[in-house]
Structure formats: C-alpha cells, structure tokens
Amino acid sequence: MSHADFVHLRVHTAYSLSEGTIKIADLIKLCQGDAMPAVGVTDSCNMFGALEFSLAAAGAGVQPILGCQIVVERVDIDEAFGAHGVKPPGDKLVLLAQNETGYGNLLKLTSKGYVESEDGTHQVTLEDVIRHSDGVIALTGGPEGAVGRLLADGQLQKARGMVEQLREAFPGRLYVELMRHGLEIERRIEDDMVQLAYDFDVPLVATNDVYFADADMHQAHDVLLCIAGGNHVSEEDRRHLTPDHRFRTAAEMRALFADLPEAVDNTMVIARRCAFMPGVRDPILPAFPMPDGYTEADYLIKQAQDGLENRLAKIYDEAMDDAARESLATPYRERLKFELDVIIGMGFPGYFLIVADFIQWSKNHDIPVGPGRGSGAGSVVAWALTITDLDPLRFGLLFERFLNPERVSMPDFDIDFCQDRRDEVIRYVQNKYGDDRVAQIITFGKLQARAAIRDVGRVLGMPYGQVDRISKLVPFNPANPPTLTEALEQEPQLREMRDGDETVKHLLDIAIKLEGLFRHASTHAAGVVIGDRPLNELLPMYRDPRSETMATQFSMKYTELAGLVKFDFLGLKTLTVLDRAVKLLADRGVIIDLPSVPLDDPLTFEMLGRGDATGVFQLESSGMRDVLVKMQPDAFEDLIALVALYRPGPMDNIPTYIDCKHGRKEPDYLHPALEGILKETFGVMIYQEQVMQIAQTLSGFSLGAADLLRRAMG
C-alpha cells in the first residue's frame, strides 16, 4: 500500500494542556487512516508525551517525529513595552529532533523553559536556542514566529535579520513555515515569507497548526480555549482558532498548496531527516557511596548480616541456650542468604543501600518513618537494614511477592514519612546525590464529568443554578467517577433534561467531547526519582509552581520506561499525629516507645470491640467500627484480616469470617491440603500470600511461578 505524500509536522496533542484535544492513540489512528507514514508532535513548550508518542507510534508503524513548539523571548522589546513594565508575548519557534543529539537538546531547552521560568511563560532566550541547536531542525513558526510577527509589523529589515540569525543557528536545517488556515495575517505576510525564503536560499515547508481532529470538534475546542483563558464564548477580544486548525488530510494539504508543491514535498524531506526514536532504557541508579574496599554487593551483605544479628538479639529469650538460639536464628539466616542471592543476582544491591540510607538518616533525625507496608514488608533483608520494622517470618510474608526471581522487575518499597517532615528527607537525598539528579514525578489532572459540565456551562454563559443542578445529577463516586455517557445511561432525569432543552443538550454535547482531556499538571504525591546524571539528559524536566523540587515531564509509567527508578516518599498524617501524641505524653512524664507497644493488649481489644476507634488509622469509619463490634477482635491477626477484607468485593466475606471465628459456622477449607494455609483466616482466602501458597501446594508451583499466577489473576 502506498503512503501519503504529506505529513503533519506541527500537531498539538492533549498534552498541550487546555489547548490541544487529540489524544496520542487517536492521533496515530488519524495517521493510519490517511496513510501518513510519519507525524510530528510539537506540544506547547513541553515534551510531556514524547516517549509515550514515540513508543505508540513506532509500535503502530508510524514514524514519530519528536518536537516542540517553544516560545522565544523577544530580542526587540521596545521602550513602550518597558515603560509599562509588561513583558510582551514571546515568539513561537518549532523545533524537531533530527537525531539523538537533537533530542537531547530539546530535553534541555524544554527543561530550561519550565525550571528557570519565573513568570510562568516558559520562555527561553534566542541564545539558549542557538546553544542547543545541534541536531535540531527549525521551522520559523508561522505568523506567531519572530519572522512572521516582524513582517506583520512592517519591519522587513528586522525580519531579514531574524532569518539570517536562524539560518546561522541552524545551517541547512532551517525551513520557512507557511500556513493557510484562512487567517488574514497569513495572507498578508505570505508573499514576503516566500520571498525571504528565496532570498536566503531557505526551503519552504507547508504546515497545518493542528489542535483538534476534525471540524466537528472546532466549537468544543473553542470552549476549551475559553475555559483555559477564563472567557465567555460571546467575547470577541480573545483567542480564536478556525475550523481549519484540524487534522487535514494529505490530499487537502496538496490541494491547498497546489501553487507551492515544494512546500508540501519538504514535509516528506523533513520526515526522512528526523530518524531518531527514543526507546525504553534499562533501570538507572546512582552509585551508592561505598567505604573503601567494598563493592555494593559486599557492603549490602555485611550490612544485612550485621543488621539481622541485631534484630535477632532483640527477639532471643534470656532463658534460651545456644542451641535454642541457633534453632530460632537458622530460618532467618537461610532466608537472608536466599534473598541476598536474588537481590545481587538481579543487580539491585544499590537500590537497597540507597533506601536504607535515607530511612536511617530519617530515624537518626527523629523523623517518624512507617513500619512498612506493601510487598516490601516481606523482605528479611529490608527488615535487617531497618527499611521495615515488621518481622516477615513471624507474619508469614513471602519475599517472592516483593521481588520475584522468575520475573525481572524493579523492587518498590512503599515508605511512609511524617507528613510535616517528608520534605526534609527529599532535601537530604538532593544534597547527597545532587539537586539536578533528584526529582518528583509529574501527574496530570483530567477534566471529569461534573467539572466539565460546570466549566462548559460557565463559558457558555448559562445560569449558575441551572448548571449546578445538571452537574449534581452525575453520580458522585470519587473512587470510580462515571463518564457523562455512563451518567446519561444511569440517570433518567439527566436524559430528560437533555431531551427537553436544546441548551442543555448543547452543554452536554460539548462537555462529552472535552471530558477526559488533561486539564492541569501537578506532582505525584509520593514518587521521587534519583539518577546517575543530570536528569535533563534523560528526560525533560518540569517545575510545579507550588514546589521547589523539580519534577519529570513524563508521567510515572514513562519516567520508569525512560530508565529512572521510582522511590516512594509518602507523607502520612497518622505518623505526624502519633509523633505529636508521644511528645505530648513525654511532656507529662509518660514515656511511650511505639515499636515496643505489645500487639496482644487486652484493654486495646476491648476498646476496639466497643467500636471506640475514632481517630484510629484505617479503623475509624462508621462501617469499620460497626464491623469491629460484630467481630470482637481478640488477636492482632483479626485486625490484619479486617483491614484486608474491608474493601469492595472482599468485604462480602466478612460475615463468614466473623461466624467462623465465633463458632457459629464451620470453616470450609475447600481441600484438606489447604487447612494449614487457611486456618488462620477461618477458611477465607484473604491474602495474596495465601494465593501463592495454594498454587505451590496444589500445583507444585515454585513461589516465583505462583507469584506470576497471582499477578495474572489481577
């Protein structure tokens, strides 16, 4: 099948926040539908979707062209602007990565625009552009570029000077960009743009500034621009685009530029010149500072062995003789050796040392750290290094659920810190490894159904009360918000309002088109990455205006695919409350050592059995307190089971657990071989460890293979 003879080089995806509306998967389908062999994504001032786009496009047989529409600070700010103290808008310049060097330069440029921009405009200087021009193809930016703006202002000589500067910065890699969206300014400057191209022997290229898929999306996109700008659609003095800022077909572009076929031909030339596609990297970790004479593996073994002996010393009974102590210690030492062999064999000793280091620093500086949760609590090495404070053997936790020797994947500790002092730990890591090598991870907020209705209603000028009533008809479910389409299926009253009022129908039609688009960027609540080099050499960087710490421009999935390893620094209010409570008690002369609090205190279980759990972490909801009264827990294992069961789906088993616990029903173990596995939970399969042990017992699976089965079950 022959391919089209034009490719789009200037597409704004949904990652051009509150500006573009095309999701990457939809963009690729558009290319495939028109047989376009390649496409360029040039989101506004960012490369949020670069790796996602590269992987998705390449996987679908479409060549990805990585780029960005940057904003360059004007070099001709006149005295009038300065007198008013207003910085004029910058000039747009489209940059495309020709090769790996060019891609790296785009990473640095877009990072600079976010990390160093103090006014939120993300502008870079022309000097920045020139410094990072190697391996980059530049398009002049159309009417909103420096050349187009100067021509529109009648400053032909300055426009000529700008072309000359850009030609020197991008020798053989500059194209004069022509657009035809039906705008008066495009018609006014086109002849001069063409003449400049001929005068300076710079090739022409035809582009369409794509923001939405088709003309049917134009009105919804116009509403999106109003939402972003705080305007009403009725206002004239605001940003407008035309229906032609869509994904035109190759045939349409050929016909549109029939008088300048070389400008269309050059889109294919540029596509052939841009051959670089970033891919997936193996995990990258910084080198952990080692004492002389040690490798990371040697040092991990020493630290883990020493740490385990310290742990064992605290659980030995004074009455134990040497034989009894050896008998108790042997399973721990064997498990430690097994885990160390796996960790070192998979190349992760540095990861454990890094985590143990910042946790130990936190504890040394009186920053409360959680005892451990998630699969990481199943590691004896983590317990020995004081990463966790839970004895995995005592609670029957499996290492393979955390780090499977039959499936190579990064370990991932969920680490809780005092909410008020979490930032101190991140600052320690930054000081140790370098500010430019540590970052948080970006996250993107989407426009959900209720918010879409409110925002669209506002910019359409509809009465607030009416919009409020409509939005409240969308079922409220924060854990799994319904889409507007689902809400219309579920709520007859919402359908009636839509069918009985054209204004409401218009509102909902637009809201459905905008729902699910990215609305804003912020930082992930926990994720932090640490690199072995400046991070802007690996991926583009972002700075949340509300944080001093840099963040990646890639979301968590693509940050990890770019090679960076995530460390979770979770801020937990409960740790802060407990710390304050302990200090307040100390002021009264009551000394409490939380790790030494017994887990079998009868008075505590009596309190919980009365449902007196207000303020108790994970037990304070009214539903949970009701179950506590019915269960009458008398063992720590009951509380573990309850926290695991009290969630949608598993909670259907709570009555069975309670009835079996109190002898009102006989446990059903399903098979005699499973009694030992399910006896503690009265025949109810609650834990992932139980799933793995059952697969091992009934089918002869190794625990590694059993973990693969568990993962496949979801």
pLDDT of residue 36: 97
**Structure-block tokens of residue 504:** 């409401």
Under DSSP, the state recorded for 143 is: G
**Residues 218, 311: Cα–Cα separation, whole Å:** 66
From the list 295, 294, 383, 306, the residue with the least C-alpha distance to 347 is: 295
- Count of residues in the chain: 714
Q: Residue 178 is inside which H or E element, if any? A: strand 174-178
Tokens at 79, concatenated: 């005295």
Q: Are 192 and 159 in contact (CB under 8 A)?
A: yes
CA distance 370 to 228: 41
- The partner residues of 67 in beta bridges, in order of sequence, read 96
Q: Three-class SS string for 202-242?
A: CCEEECCCECECCHHHHHHHHHHHHHHHCCCCCCCCCCCCC
Q: How far is CA 314 from CA 325, 332, 339, 595, in A?
A: 11, 14, 22, 12
pLDDT of residue 84: 56
Cα separation, 237 vs 607, whole angstroms: 65
Residue 140 contacts residue 163 (beta carbons within 8 Å)? yes
pLDDT at 82: 54
Q: How far is CA 320 from CA 93, 308, 315, 316, 334, in A?
A: 76, 18, 11, 7, 20
By CB atoms closer than 10 A (0-12, 13-18, 19+), residue 317 is exposed
Cα dihedral 500/504/508/511 (nearest 10): 180
DSSP 389: -
pLDDT at 713: 84
How far is residue 480's CA from residue 491's CA, in Å, rounded to a whole number? 16
Distance CA 229, CA 19 (A): 10
Domains and CATH numbers, the chain: 24-210+247-273 (3.20.20.140), 296-443+522-574 (no CATH), 446-521 (1.10.10.1600), 598-713 (no CATH)
Q: Provide the pLDDT for residue 316.
A: 87
Residue 30 · residue 227 · CB < 8 Å: no
CA distances from 397 to 157, 238, 312, 650, 680 (A): 75, 61, 17, 20, 14
SS (H, E, C) 98-134: CCHHHHHHHHHHHHHHHHCCCCCCCCECHHHHHHCCC
Inter-CA distances, 690 with 327, 394, 396, 397, 547, Å: 26, 15, 10, 10, 42
pLDDT at 85: 62
Nearest to 104 by CA among 533, 504, 485: 533
* Model pTM score: 0.90
DSSP 402-435: TS-TTS------EEEEETTTHHHHHHHHHHHH-G
pLDDT along the chain (714 residues), means of 10: 90 97 98 97 97 97 98 73 69 98 98 88 95 98 96 96 97 98 96 97 98 97 95 92 97 98 98 94 92 94 97 89 92 96 94 96 96 91 96 91 83 91 95 95 94 95 93 86 90 91 94 95 92 97 86 96 94 93 94 90 95 92 94 94 91 93 93 92 90 90 87 82
In the numeric block, which tokens belong to residue 483? 């889409």
pLDDT of residue 79: 46
Q: Name every residue whose Cβ is closer than 8 Å to that of residue 613 and which is 6 or more positions away in sequence.
A: 607, 619, 620, 624, 625, 628
Given a contact cutoff of 8 angstroms between Cβ atoms, the answer to whether 444 and 556 are in contact is: no
Closest CA to 208 of 167, 173, 162, 256: 256
